[in-house]
Amino acid sequence: MDAEEKQRFAALARAVAERRDQQAFTVLFDYFAPRLKSWLLRQKMASGEAEELVQEVMIVLWHKADLYDSARSSLSTWLFRIARNRRIDLQRRARARVLDETDPALQPPAEIGADEIVANDSRDAYVRAAVGQLPEEQREMLRAAFFLGQSHSEIAEATGLPLGTVKSRIRLAFGKLRKVLEAEGS
């Protein structure tokens, strides 16, 4: 690309930026789109992806031609840099979407055996009995915090109690539960 052609393309880009000149854009599109696509194909992009990316680059030219500075680079350099950056972004997104099939979070849970079900039921019965031994106000605080999912602030607001009182009652309830469960476990 010679200096005269670079100046011509810079002038066309200015026309797109200043007047949204469709004829200037058409000239630029017709010249750069096939070259961008060819370059992207050489970068091992699939044809459909390359076409979509070329469309994105040309849309950037249409909407952001005012960002192009002919004193810093040729229009060709600017457009190919945009294409390069978009291609890299696509590759990064594609890598982020690849799932690791061995990830434990993606594995189905192991089936629970009968002995484990009985042990869980037994433990649940201990916990229910221990909670039943708590004073009513502490039981209500635990129910609100753990079964209703309320924060300490929400419990304080709902009950009209000071936040410190709510926290103290929950802390006391945990202490009593720990003692009861440790005594029954030994």
Phi and psi, residue 107, nearest 5°: -85, 145
105 part of a folded domain: no
Q: What is the pLDDT of residue 51?
A: 94
- The alpha carbon dihedral of 43, 46, 49, 55 has a sign of positive
Digit-coded pLDDT (tens) for 46-105: 999 999 999 999 999 999 999 988 889 899 999 999 999 999 988 888 777 666 677 777
Confidence of residue 185 (pLDDT cuts 50, 70, 90): low
64 part of a folded domain: yes
Domain that holds residue 31: 3-97
Residues 48 and 133 grouped into a single domain: no
Confidence of residue 177 (pLDDT cuts 50, 70, 90): confident
Distance between CA 65 and CA 58 in Å, rounded? 10
62 part of a folded domain: yes
Distance between CA 87 and CA 49 in Å, rounded? 9
The pLDDT of 35-47, averaged and rounded, is: 92
Instruction: Read off the tokens for 27.
Output: 């000239």
- The fraction of the chain above a pLDDT of 70, given in percent, is 94
**How many folded domains does the chain comprise?**
2
Confidence of residue 129 (pLDDT cuts 50, 70, 90): confident
Residues 86 and 128 grouped into a single domain: no
Q: What is the pLDDT of residue 48?
A: 92
Q: Which residue has the higher pLDDT, 3 or 14?
A: 14
Whether the Cβ atoms of residue 34 and residue 67 lie closer than 8 Å to each other: no
Q: What is the pTM of this model?
A: 0.52
Q: What is the pLDDT of residue 173?
A: 86
Residues 135 and 83 grouped into a single domain: no
Q: What is the pLDDT of residue 3?
A: 83
Residues 24 and 89 grouped into a single domain: yes
Q: Which residue among 65, 97, 129 closes a domain? A: 97
108 part of a folded domain: no
Distance between CA 105 and CA 91 in Å, rounded? 25
For the cut 60, the answer to whether the pLDDT of residue 152 exceeds it is yes
Q: What is the pLDDT of residue 94?
A: 78
